[in-house]
Structure 1
Amino acid sequence: MSDLVRPYGDTTGDGMVQVSFTLPLPHDKRAEGAALQLAKKMGMDPALLVHAKAMGPDFTFFVVYGSVTHLVDLREVTVVEREYPLLTAKEVNAAVKRRLRRKLVVVGACIGTDAHTVGIDAILNIKGFAGEKGLEYYREIRVVNLGAQVLVPDLVERARAERADAVLVSQVVTQKDAHVHNTTAMSAAFREAYPAGQVPLLVVGGPRFEEGSASALGVDRIFGRGTTPGEVASYLVDALITRREAGSRADRRSA
């Protein structure tokens, strides 16, 4: 397979793409012309306006279909690979019981003004997601789901009270990078409230986080759309048990 690819629409290699956007203009012929001008400036030529709909009196939503000349170089594509093994629920429970010798405590919430609990509930609630049971199903994991619109100080306080091993935060609202600001504020608050080396594992999830940005946001792991409860449970075991045990053995050898 070639390392250079282009979008596919009607025939292989035709470069056809479809984009949608909103302009702050009332829906009329001038607005449609502006949408086509924007499409051409984005490199779509020819561009076809296939949908336009007023969004109230002052905005218009557009869908534009057209050809672009840009190529994608697969050699320059970077991805974050999963670095831990996927475990079954039975294996997760066995690892926690054998190595931690107590239940693993997870506190979850949607922080700030985010009221979208679908993501956090999919991971935590027993009904789960994509055919997998949520973390409440795991016998050796104790889940505290705080729900939506939780203030960061309240999350920190509850995590301390529950002696949380891990804190899971879901962020769906992304206007003006709210998910980035909320996550950064959350990680800073935890590091201020806990002694060095004793901060719970901080995990965030949402559809708009960039892969590989965990360290920049001050968290341990970012999960994107499509993440299943089994992936999260496997990561928690790896990060809280497997890696810590490996680190302890290394410290003893160097002592």
Structure 2
Amino acid sequence: MIQQVDWKRIRPYGDTLGDGIVQLSFTLPIPHNEEAKEAAKQLCAAMGLEEPQIYHSVDLGEGYSFFILYGKSQASVDMTKIEVPKIQSKQRSFEEINHAIRHQLGRKMVVVGACTGTDAHTVGIDAIMNMKGYHGDYGLERYPEVEAYNLGSQVPNERLMARAVELNADAILVSQVVTQKGVHIKNLTNLIELLEADQLRQRFIVICGGPRINHEMALELGFDAGFGPGHTAPDVASFILDQLIQRGE
């Protein structure tokens, strides 16, 4: 018999509904021994987890130990009170996007993208821009109705902005993979500040993406949208297209 879920009291699921079982892993900067195992369990208890049990532990060498543990949490969340900003755009296929651009815009859509700042990881921007795309979806370079310019990695914000102006771009895409010490926040904020300083912010649809970026964060930083993991080129292209149609461009 299927148990009824209480949407006002959602708890983690392990073996049975609502048992609160969670799994977590972490590294401790101490040698791997019995004392280290006890320290790991006490740390879980300090986090509020009951009945902590070590599932796996290993010596990482040089005085470090790695642990995987299970524990029981009494915490719960009320799903009826959760509101999350979501990207509102019509989902379209490769063919539908090109058809809509051709017949509703009447011109090609121009998109400029880059992995900016000191970030040299192009996997994100390449997944959206490169012709081969990602996960079975073509990248924007393959769209006949899109002029896509991938500037690559470690591109200064000033250069990205200048190139967008030069190409009369409709949208600017920024990928940020490196996030240590909040460097992605600083870099994304800097781009918006540069655009606003030159009174160019409203000229472009500005989008960011990366493994630790979501739509809510993007809006807070002044972007039009944020695409996290799992999104592909049709998601981004559909959003840009809808924004251009809404603006009457």
Instruction: Tell whether the structures are fold-level matches, with TM greater than 0.5.
Output: yes
Matching of residues 82-93 of structure 1 within 5 Å: 82-93=87-98
Task: Report SS of the residue matched to 1:83.
Answer: coil
Out of 22, 27, 48, the residue aligned to residue 53 of structure 2 is 48
Instruction: Assess if the C-alpha contact under 8 Å between 2:86 and 2:215 holds in 1.
Output: no
Give how far 1:155 is off: 1.4
Measured against aligned partners, the alpha-carbon deviations of 1:43-83 in whole angstroms (never above 9, x if no partner) come to: 11100122233445243332211111112221122233342
Aligned to 2:125: 120
Aligned to 1:244: 247
| Amino acid of the structure 1 residue aligned with 2:247 | R
Out of 201, 216, 219, the residue aligned to residue 215 of structure 1 is 219
| Amino acid of the structure 1 residue aligned with 2:172 | V
Aligned to 1:225: 229
Task: Report SS of the residue matched to 2:216.
Answer: coil
Q: What CA RMSD, in Å, does the superposition of the two structures yield over aligned residues?
A: 2.0
Question: How many residues end up aligned between the 2 structures?
Answer: 244
Aligned to 1:157: 162
| Amino acid of the structure 2 residue aligned with 1:118 | V
Measured against aligned partners, the alpha-carbon deviations of 1:90-121 in whole angstroms (never above 9, x if no partner) come to: 33223323343332111111112222211111
Instruction: Give, in whole Å, the separation in 1 of the partners of 2:215 and 2:88.
Output: 14
Which TM-score applies when normalising by structure 2?
0.89
Residue 187 to residue 122, structure 1, CA distance change in 2 (3 Å): same
2:65 aligned with 1:60: yes
Out of 6, 10, 13, the residue aligned to residue 2 of structure 1 is 6
Instruction: Assess if the C-alpha contact under 8 Å between 2:215 and 2:225 holds in 1.
Output: no
Give how far 1:41 is off: 1.3
Measured against aligned partners, the alpha-carbon deviations of 1:201-242 in whole angstroms (never above 9, x if no partner) come to: 1100112124412232111110111012111110010012x2
| Amino acid of the structure 2 residue aligned with 1:17 | V
Of all paired residues, the percent bearing the same amino acid is 44
Residue 18 to residue 105, structure 1, CA distance change in 2 (3 Å): same
Out of 206, 209, 225, the residue aligned to residue 210 of structure 2 is 206
Residue 62 to residue 211, structure 1, CA distance change in 2 (3 Å): farther
Measured against aligned partners, the alpha-carbon deviations of 1:16-60 in whole angstroms (never above 9, x if no partner) come to: 110112233333333332221221111111001222334452433
| Amino acid of the structure 2 residue aligned with 1:166 | A
Instruction: Assess if the C-alpha contact under 8 Å between 2:87 and 2:215 holds in 1.
Output: no
More displaced stretch, 172-181 vs 19-28: 19-28
Residue 196 to residue 83, structure 1, CA distance change in 2 (3 Å): closer
Structure 2 unpaired stretches of 5+: none
Instruction: Assess if the C-alpha contact under 8 Å between 1:54 and 1:61 holds in 2.
Output: yes
Aligned to 2:115: 110
More displaced stretch, 74-83 vs 159-168: 74-83
| Amino acid of the structure 2 residue aligned with 1:145 | N
Give how far 1:196 is off: 6.0
| Amino acid of the structure 2 residue aligned with 1:243 | Q
Out of 95, 100, 108, the residue aligned to residue 105 of structure 2 is 100
More displaced stretch, 85-94 vs 129-138: 85-94
| Amino acid of the structure 2 residue aligned with 1:215 | L
